[in-house]
Amino acid sequence: MRRREPQEERPDRYLPVRQVAETLCCMNQYVYTLIKEGRLTAIRIGARAIRISEKSLSGFIESNKVDPDQFNV
């Protein structure tokens, strides 16, 4: 059997706005707002197509987690 080499950091994937909006359960426009504010990293691939970095999305989600001890209803 062949040994697997330790995996290096995998390359970033880029997701369409629609998929990011579905992941966050929000409207596409909110995703565009996050891009404009610099809170998500995106690339343009053509005149209209925009893709969001999956690592950027993961970082955004991680940085916006709510601490249960700090959560007031």
CA 15 to chain centre: 8
Q: 21 lies in a domain?
A: yes
**Joined tokens for residue 66:** 């709510």
| Digit-coded pLDDT (tens) for 16-28 | 999 999 999 999 9
* Confidence check: pLDDT of 69 > 60: yes
Buried b (16+ CB within 10 A) or exposed e, 32-49: eebbeeeebbbeeeeeee
Average pLDDT of the chain, as a whole number = 90
- Count of domains forming the chain: 1
| Digit-coded pLDDT (tens) for 50-68 | 999 999 999 999 999 988 8
Q: 2 lies in a domain?
A: no
Confidence band, pLDDT 50/70/90 cuts, at residue 72: confident
The 10 Å Cβ neighbour count of residue 20 is 25
User: Which range of residues forms the domain containing residue 47?
Assistant: 14-63
Q: 56 lies in a domain?
A: yes
